[in-house]
Each structure stands twice: as C-alpha cells, then as structure tokens.
Chains A and B, each alone.
Chain A
C-alpha cells in the first residue's frame, strides 16, 4: 500500500524509481531510440502518476501504470519531434576489459541494438510494442491510428529484418 503522507509518498516513488525505472526507461529507449526522449517520457509519466497517486492501491499498480504511460508519452514525444529523431542516437553499453563471455554477450547486444535501429520507425514501434511489451495488435493499431493489417505487416517486416540481421549469430550457435 502506498502511504498517505506526502513525505512517505515521495519515498515510495523514490523506491519505485530505484527498482523499476530501468524497465520504463528501456522500453522508452527502444521505442524512441533517443535517450533524451526516453528520459522525458519517463519523467512525464512519473509526474502524471504523482497527481493520480491516490488511485493506486499498490506499488505494482503504480509500476504498471507508469510503464504504460511512459510508453505512450514516448510515442507522443517521438511523433512531435520527428525532425530531431535519429536512429543512431541510441546509446549502447560499453564493454572495456570485460571477460570473453561477457564481451560476446555485449557484442551480441550491440548487434541486436544496431539491427533494431535499421528498422523504420513504424516497424520498430510495432515490434517493440508487440514483442517486448506484449501489447495486443489491436491496441497497437489503435495507438498508432493505423489498421490491424498495417500493424501486422510492419511487425512481419521488422521480424524479417531482425532475423536476417541476427543470422550470423545463429550460425555460430
């Protein structure tokens, strides 16, 4: 249960940020491919959640709500800021002096991130929302003001490109 005094409520939010903001941020970053937009989206969601904090009965509800609102905010910010949008701005983890297995994992992650950045915006959004966020296709179509058929085709194109990009890793495996 969230406490009802402002000081304790802030502590609850602080704790949730420490525990869950990674997931919120990652989702927004994968959608926007822009660290600044992802940060803004999470902040927007957090501040909206603060004003609705009385409606949440448990941290899990708040977490789910912020996650969803952050994604919507990310999509909205991206739409408003297409001119600033850059596929190449997505930061990737650095791997100095990592053990071999860890380096390999990080290389795989980088290749996967690069493959994601090769997708068009609509392909990436449909893929992230469906594959990583488990949205229903109808929800995605509604959010994107698109049709179910268009969303499916964008998802298929995205998966095809990603599977081709990651083929070398499968061959090695």
Chain B
C-alpha cells in the first residue's frame, strides 16, 4: 500500500531510498488510480507555490540595507578588524524613541563597564577591559561599534522633536528593539551573559516607552538628558576601547 506520505516524498524526490522509489514508480505504471492520486497531489502542492509570493521589501528597507553596507565599507576601509561586529552599526535607530532608549541603554552599558574587572588589576590576565576570560581579543571591535553607534545617535538628536506621530513612533520603536536585539546577540556571541542580560532586560523597557512619549516638553528634557548621557557614555567607551587596543 502506497500512502500519501510516500507520494509526497516521491514528488519531492527526497526521503526515499532507491528501492522505495522504484517500487512507487512501478506501481504508478500499473495502477491508474495511484497515478491519478499523485496527479491530484501534485496539483495541490503546486498551488502552495504561491506562498513564495510574499510581500516585496519596502524601498525604505532596501535603502537601510544599502546604508548599512556603505557604512560597513567605509568602516572596514579605515579599520578592517571591526568587520565582525560592524553589523551592529546599522543606522536604524529611531528618532523619538531613541532618546529614552539610548538613555537607558547608556546607563545599562555604563553599569556594565563600571562593573567589569579591570584587567590592569588582574596579574597574569591580559584581556581587554571588560572582556570575559577566554574571549580576550573580541571586545574592542564591539566597543568601537557601540561608540560609533552612539556618535551617530547623537547626531540624530536635533531631529528627535520631529517624530511625534504615534504610528511613526511605533515603527521607530520596532526598529529600536531590533537594534537592541542585535546588540544582545553580539553579547551572547561573545559569551558575555552580563551584557546580554542588560540588553534583554532593556527590551522590556522599550516596550513601555512608546506609551509614554506624547509630551513635547518631556521629549525636550529627555533630549537634553540624553545629550549629557551620550557624552559620558562616549567618554567611557573611548577609554575602554583605547585600553583594550593597547592590550591587543
């Protein structure tokens, strides 16, 4: 007895051994009803091919990919070693939400840096600042990536007050969460659970931010606070990256 599952695998030409394929092929010749079943099955499966016709990526999305590539090209020209982490530097961070997002992110990273053991105080361990044992050379590119990201975000600050549309804010928040996820993934890839935890916890904060962003004065205050926080963060990261470079 040849069932539908056998016919499906026969249709795909996969998952059956040679003897099974030959048995079905011979049966199809001698059994018109089986051949008809296969014909109907193939018609149904072909119908599902339309699933390949998913929505095209919006032009803005394609532009974001191009921008990320152009930035990557620029950075890898000036610093080839940063390539591994450069995908973190996508300029997709939103404007309005970015203020509060980066504020929280800055605090989280700041605590993360502050809480890290300084390798200069650990005799015999020559890891970059903040690097977990076993991954001594990979922190610096990540730090430089975060630095660049913060610098770009600082440049976006003047535009923040223009993003007061709720729909736009939701869109920006979604992008910001995606960005945050990338940072968390990078931390996981480096086995840096502490940083990954900070970023994962931060995702929850992001979800609540969109509901609280309707007051222009609060937005301006956040913007000013973020400017200050970004300056502090960049100073910290510059120091950390510099130290880790010296130790490489």
Contacts and interface: CB of A to CB of B under 8 A. Distances in A.
Interface in A70-113: 77, 80-81, 84, 91-93, 108-109, 112-113
Contact of A156 (B5, B14, B55): B5
Q: How many B residues touch the partner, as a band?
A: 35 or more
Interface string B54-65: 111100011011
B52 A132 contact: yes
A131 B44 contact: no
Nearest to A49: B69
B242 interface: no
A128 B48 CA distance: 10
A56 interface: no
A50 B69 contact: yes
B230 to A, nearest CB: 24
A152 B65 contact: no
Contacts of B8: 155-156, 159
Given A136-B14, A155-B8, A113 B51 contact: yes
A65 B77 CA distance: 23
Nearest to A52: B83
Contacts of A148: 15
Interface string B1-28: 0000100110010110000000000000
Contacts of B48: 112, 131, 159, 162, 166
A43 interface: yes
Interface in A144-173: 148, 152, 155-156, 159, 162-163, 166, 169-170
B69 A47 contact: yes
A92 B55 contact: yes
Contacts of A166: 44, 47-48
Contacts of A81: 181
Contacts of B87: 43-44, 47-48
Contacts of B77: 6
A39 B61 contact: yes
A130 B52 CA distance: 12
A122 interface: no
Given A80-B188, A131-B45, A166-B47, A39 B178 contact: yes
B174 interface: yes
16 contacts: A9-B73, A10-B69, A10-B70, A14-B69, A22-B57, A25-B56, A30-B51, A30-B54, A43-B87, A46-B68, A80-B188, A81-B181, A92-B55, A108-B50, A112-B51, A163-B44
Given A17-B62, A51-B84, 16 more contacts: A17-B65, A18-B62, A21-B57, A36-B177, A43-B68, A47-B87, A50-B73, A51-B83, A93-B55, A113-B54, A131-B45, A131-B49, A137-B14, A152-B5, A152-B9, A170-B47
Interface of A: 6, 9-10, 13-14, 17-18, 21-22, 25-26, 29-30, 36-37, 39-40, 42-44, 46-48, 50-51, 77, 80-81, 84, 91-93, 108-109, 112-113, 116, 128, 130-132, 136-137, 148, 152, 155-156, 159, 162-163, 166, 169-170
